[in-house]
Amino acid sequence: MALYNTNTLLPTKSFISQSPPHKSFPCTTLRPISAVHAPDPSSQKPPSSTTPSATISTTTPLTTPSGTKWTVDSWRTKKALQLPEYPDQNELDSVLETLEAFPPIVFAGEARNLEERLGEAALGNAFLLQGGDCAESFKEFNANYIRDTFRVILQMGVVLMFGGQMPVIKVGRMAGQFAKPRSDNFEEKDGVKLPSYRGDNVNGDAFDLKSRIPDPQRLIRAYSQSAATLNLLRAFATGGYAAMQRVNQWNLDFTENSEQGDRYRELASQVDEALGFMAAAGLTIDHPIMTTTDFWTSHECLHLPYEQSLTRLDSTSGLYYDCSAHFLWAGERTRQLDGAHVEFLRGIANPLGIKVSDKMDPNELVKLIDILNPENKPGRITIITRMGAENMRVKLPHLIRAVRRAGQIVTWVTDPMHGNTIKAPSGLKTRPFDAIRVTNLSPSSIKSTSLLFYIIFIVNCVNYWYNQSTHYEKDSGMNINRKMWLVIFMCFTRALDVRRLSTRLVHRLALILCY
C-alpha cells in the first residue's frame, strides 16, 4: 500500500479527422543536436562510447520503457485528429524538409532543466506561473508586445515569490503557440461555409476562401517568428532587464492611481529594502541569480508534421527532443490513448502537459499518465485542469484521488480560461470577471490530505474586454486585465501570508495564466 505525506498531493513511493496516415515527407535523416549552448547540470553523465551516431534514420526505432517501439514518425500509423488538409501535399513535404534542416528553436539541456524544476513543483517546493496568449498571431508580432507580456510575467512572478516565499517557475505560452484546435471543421456565416480558422500557422482568420485554405508556407513564417520571439526573450531574461533591482521599473501604467498599484509599489519597495540590506551586509547583488531569470516557452502539440520536423536527437542523452519548445501539452481534443498525438508525445523527452476537462474519466487519466511517463519521473507530467469554476469542486478531487492511488507523481495546475467561457452580446467569447476566484478545496473535499490546494481563475484569454459600447477594445483590454491580475495576486499573497503565520503546512500553488 502506498504511503502519503499529508502535506503534499504525492505518494512517497484536419479537416478530415479519420483520414489515413499522412505520407512522410522526404527526409531520410534526423539531425542530432549538441547541448553546448545549454549545458546539463553536473549530475549528468558524460556521453559514453555507446552514444548514438551523428546521423540516424527517422525509422530507427527507439525502445521506450513500456517495451514498445517508437520512431519520430510512428504517429502516422495512428488516427490523427485536428490536422489540416493541405491541397498540395508536395508543397507541404517541401516545407517540412526545409524546416527539418533549420536549427532547433530550443535546446535539449534547457528542456531537461525545466523538467527538474517542474519536479520541484510536483514535490511542493516551487510555484508554476505560465502566461501568454491563447494563440499568437502574425499581425501582433512586435518587440513592444513581447516585452510587455514578458514584463507582466516578471511582475506577477515577483509578487508570487515574495508572497509565497518559494521559487517561481516562469513559462510563457509564447514563441510557438499558434495552432488552434476546433470543435468543427467548418464555419458558416450568412449561408457561406468555409474551413475553420486553425491558427496563423495554418490559415488566415479573414472569412474568405483564399484566407481559409491551409498554406504550408505559413509554417516557415511561424518558425521564423518563434525563433525571433525567443531570441528577444533570451535577451530580456539574461541581459539585465529581469534584474531584481529593476522591480520598481517594471511598473506599467495600470499600477498608477489604484489601490492595487499602491500595494504593488509597497511590495517593490520591500524588495528594494531587502536588496539594500544584502548589499550593506556585503552580499553581492551582481550574482547571476539576481540579474537574470530562467524563462521557458510552451505550446500545444497540435500540428504533428511541424513538431516532427523540429524533433532532434540529443547527442548528450541519446534521447529525442521536440525542439520547437521546452514544454508541450496534449489538448483536450487530442489526448486519445490510441491517438497520433499521444503516440508522438510518448517518445520525446520534453516535459509534457495533459489538458483535462470535467469529461475526463479518472481511470483513463491514470492510463494516459502511464503511457507518457512509465518511469514515473517527477516533472515529466503536468496535469492542466480546464473544467471551469462550477465543476472544479466536484470533478477534480476524483482525478486527484485516482492519480494518488496509482502512485503517480504529477504537477497539478489549472487553466482558468477554458471552461469559464461565455459569449458577449456581440457573439465574441470572453470570461466574466465574476469567474475570478480563489477556490479552496478543503480537506473534507479531498478527504485524504490536509493540504489546502489553491486554484485561481483569471479572465479574458484573448486580451479583449467587453465594454458598454458593445465592442472590444484591444488596448484598454490589456490594462483592465492587468488590474485584474494585480487584484488576484495581491489577494492570494495576502492569503499565503496568513496561512504562513497560522500553520506549518506546505502550501502549493498550481497556476496557469492565459491572457
**CA gap 119, 111 in Å, rounded:** 12
**31 is an annotated ligand-binding site residue:** no
- Would you say residue 48 lies in a domain? no
Average pLDDT over residues 120-129: 87
The answer, yes or no, to whether residue 462 has pLDDT greater than 50, is: no
Q: What pLDDT, on the 0 to 100 scale, is given for residue 109?
A: 97
Q: Are 95 and 352 in contact (CB under 8 A)?
A: no
Q: What pLDDT, on the 0 to 100 scale, is given for residue 285?
A: 66
Query: Which of 463, 483, 484 minimizes the C-alpha distance to 475?
Result: 463
- Would you say residue 170 lies in a domain? yes
**359 is an annotated ligand-binding site residue:** no
CATH number, position 229: 3.20.20.70
- Would you say residue 418 lies in a domain? yes
- Would you say residue 393 lies in a domain? yes
Q: What pLDDT, on the 0 to 100 scale, is given for residue 450?
A: 27
56 - beta bridge partners? 30
Whole-number percent of the chain with pLDDT over 70: 64
- Would you say residue 52 lies in a domain? no
- Would you say residue 460 lies in a domain? yes
Instruction: Select the more confidently predicted residue: 428 or 143.
Output: 143
The answer, yes or no, to whether residue 262 has pLDDT greater than 50, is: yes
Average pLDDT over residues 4-20: 37
User: 276: Cβ–Cβ under 8 A, 6 or more apart, which residues?
Assistant: none
Q: What are 481-515's pLDDT values in tens digits? A: 555 555 666 666 665 554 454 433 333 444 444 44
- Write out the residue range of the structural domain in which residue 180 sits: 74-242+292-467+478-511
- Would you say residue 251 lies in a domain? no
**386 is an annotated ligand-binding site residue:** yes
- Would you say residue 97 lies in a domain? yes
Q: What pLDDT, on the 0 to 100 scale, is given for residue 50?
A: 34
What's the pLDDT band for 298 if we cut at 50, 70, 90? very high
**355 is an annotated ligand-binding site residue:** yes
**CA gap 123, 446 in Å, rounded:** 18
Instruction: Give 500-508 contacts, CB < 8 A, sequence gap 24+.
Output: 500/165, 505/7, 505/450, 505/451, 505/452, 506/7, 506/8, 506/124, 506/451, 507/164, 507/451, 507/452, 507/454, 508/8, 508/9, 508/121, 508/124, 508/127, 508/451, 508/453, 508/454
The answer, yes or no, to whether residue 116 has pLDDT greater than 80, is: yes
Structurally, the chain folds into a number of domains equal to 1
**If 0-12 CB within 10 Å is exposed, 13-18 middle and 19+ buried, where does residue 250 land?**
middle
Q: What are 161-215's pLDDT values in tens digits? A: 877 788 899 999 999 999 999 999 999 999 999 999 999 999 999 999 999 999 9
- pTM, 2 dp: 0.79
**173 is an annotated ligand-binding site residue:** yes
Q: What pLDDT, on the 0 to 100 scale, is given for residue 151?
A: 86
Beta strand pairing call for 327-330 and 62-63: unpaired
Query: Which of 240, 237, 294 minimizes the C-alpha distance to 109?
Result: 294
**134 is an annotated ligand-binding site residue:** yes
Helix (H) / strand (E) element for 146: namely helix 143-164
Q: What are 222-244's pLDDT values in tens digits? A: 999 999 999 999 999 998 888 87
Q: Are 195 and 86 in contact (CB under 8 A)?
A: no
User: 503: Cβ–Cβ under 8 A, 6 or more apart, which residues?
Assistant: none
Average pLDDT, the chain: 75
What's the pLDDT band for 148 if we cut at 50, 70, 90? confident
Least confident stretch, 60-69, 228-237, 320-329, 483-492:
483-492
Q: What pLDDT, on the 0 to 100 scale, is given for residue 44?
A: 41
Average pLDDT over residues 351-372: 96
